[in-house]
Chains A and B, each alone.
Chain A
């Protein structure tokens, strides 16, 4: 039985053959496999894994052959198919985009490309503007290791919203890669929610590659899972691109959550804005790391980064690490803001003095805390749902 730690070249070939993939895709897998074996297994002595010891992840679980990615699409010429099929039917687009946002520099990303068990391809052709969202669900239904891979490509001036939900309650380790490739002037909103059961470990690399004057918004609601390590990155590779990274997270007893993002300004006139807010309760840990890197040639950039942590219970630990690496002096504005604090007792007092029960007052304040982020999600149904889940989850956790 194949596992990530014992993966062999023959197993990679077998995976590809079973899916009747074209030879170019097998070559890609083998190239990724080579990178995978050449890269060291990371440990917590390297910066990226300083706060999440990779040993927390159970990597010995057998690969589940053919996990579950389900997708629904509206019409209008949108292509939604599994990656193996798309590799034949839309070879040019897939060849060009696959691996262009998440490269092989990281061990787990290389492992995913070598051995992804389930792949999904979403293509919104140029000029097509979708009103209805595309719904994608990744499910961890069976025990084991799951390697899902999602590739979303938006043609020039296309517009779409993709809702990516994660569900499942198995003993699972999910090593996921989501690549979003936006061509010139495209607008993509990628709204991800994560509803794992308490035994799921999740390693997720989500990267948006943003074309000229394109607009990318990534939202993340991290609500479940045991050990969760997510890297929502953005590559602003062409002039005029704009990115927004939004996130809310909630921890409780026994959970370990890390968000780690790089916003790479690699072209002029690019803008980015990032805001992550989390509430921590029980014996849990949450780490947020954000790096904004502005290259020498990326003139007239503007960037802003915010992380706020609300600690609701004893035993919760937080770390917040906002980096800036600015190699170009021609910045319009660049800054970051980070804080760790508690519920404002003065605000609680004010609400209680007006006859609102303490529990309702706490709920209102937490609601307000997160609403600043969810208000920016352009899908009210999802935003309201996430807010409701958050306020339900913290009920009774604050005395």
Chain B
């Protein structure tokens, strides 16, 4: 196996790296001040309380220090970022109403196919700061399912929104969550009525098209008792020479007996700082599952968490990360057990190639009173190149005597014997390596909806190109 060459095909193989001429309807200047925050709120004609929330969060953002752990974030210049870009006057009702450039972008991402086939129950597409296209299957609407962009949800369902907003992630949770709360725009709002089981996934796409663009979507999912929903998001951004920031906040409330599954395939281009706060509260007998794929971005810091609040709640995280040249995927999971008889599991698979670095960072905390808790964590890392790096940073903090916690981790390189075996059967070296990597992440990819599973495998193969010489 040879070292990845400097002219690694990474950039060339990033197939979503075009950008359209961005025709923004409104464009505030770079940088952030309380005026900009007020302007965003005013443009959206928001209720006063939301404006106040934003302004308070802005103060918290200013007061909080940058995280000094995890990745190097010194490359982020908050004064250079566009905090809000509106790309179309109003939301389109059908695909054909969208402006041609935006339609073109999403055509290339493959959305219309998915929509046409009606494989997916609802599709929302976010371009820059706001949702530009939205469609929910009629039968789901008839059952009372709400799947809207978050701005519209605030207008149309203010009480429901206000009851749940910021209840899982307070604005002062961390610096980036405060920033998101101050300038959030777009994202998905989902409410599943009691007992309703949505049998096909709801989907959203997020795309950054503008240089130095910050995307701060805010997603809120509320699953009423006994309901089920699977939400899938995909993210891409074109390649620009200067860095962009994606800092989303995702809050999920899984009420008693409900089940929520949240799947992300993050494929931002290699100049995006992806700093995301994702957290769920799972009540009695609820199940929360995060499936988290991190392929793109320059730096990702993301640790989907489940707070197990009610007896019998269950949390699961399946995390897969791929880091190529110059990338740092600092991903992981947190399981915080507040209630007795709760259980959780974490499975993390990471692959580092070239000078890429993957870190698993996790926490399993058992609080006082959380009796008979079970947790199992398994982290496996695969190193493809001599200069690749892998870290494992798990924290286990146990305050109850009857907890059963276990953690296993292993790090390995691609087995010479496996490679030899495959090559002796006529498989080319690159394909052999790709097969081994696919086998390595298979426990997670098989959990994805079929088209995403295929996409994940294809993205990883594309990113691996050039690593064999």
Contact = CB atoms under 8 A, between A and B. Distances in A.
Contacts, number: 109
Contacts of A322: 392, 394, 407, 409
Contacts of A340: 396, 398, 403-405
Contact of B393 (A320, A323, A333): A323
Interface stretch (B20-28, B187-195, B379-387): B379-387
Contacts of A334: 410-412
B398 A342 contact: no
Q: Is the interface of A mostly helix, strand, loop or mixed?
A: strand
A331 B412 contact: yes
Interface in A304-327: 309, 311-327
B396 A324 contact: no
B128 to A, nearest CB: 38
B406 interface: yes
Interface residues of A, number: 34
B318 to A, nearest CB: 20
A40 to B, nearest CB: 15
A335 B398 CA distance: 22
A327 B413 CA distance: 12
A6 to B, nearest CB: 31
A324 B412 CA distance: 12
B408 interface: yes
A31 B412 CA distance: 43
Interface in A280-294: none
Contact of A329 (B385, B398, B406): B385
Contact of B408 (A47, A337, A341): A337
Interface in B355-410: 381, 383-399, 401-410
B396 A329 contact: no
Given A314-B401, A326-B390, A330-B386, A338 B412 contact: no
Interface residues of B, number: 33
B106 to A, nearest CB: 39
Contacts of A312: 401
Contacts of B411: 324, 326, 331, 334-335
Nearest to B404: A341
B396 A320 contact: yes
Contacts of B402: 311, 342
A19 interface: no
Contacts of A339: 404-407
Contact of A323 (B391, B399, B408): B391
Nearest to B402: A342
Nearest to A47: B69
Contacts of B395: 319, 321
B413 A329 contact: yes
A328 interface: yes
B385 A324 contact: no
B388 A329 contact: yes
A56 interface: no
A336 B392 contact: yes
B407 A329 contact: no
Given A331-B411, A335-B410, A319 B398 contact: yes
Given A312-B401, A324-B391, A335-B409, 13 more contacts: A314-B401, A315-B401, A317-B397, A319-B396, A319-B398, A320-B405, A322-B407, A324-B390, A328-B386, A330-B386, A330-B413, A338-B408, A342-B401
Interface of A: 47, 296, 309, 311-331, 333-342
14 contacts: A311-B398, A313-B401, A319-B396, A321-B396, A322-B394, A323-B392, A326-B390, A326-B411, A329-B413, A334-B410, A336-B392, A336-B409, A337-B408, A340-B405
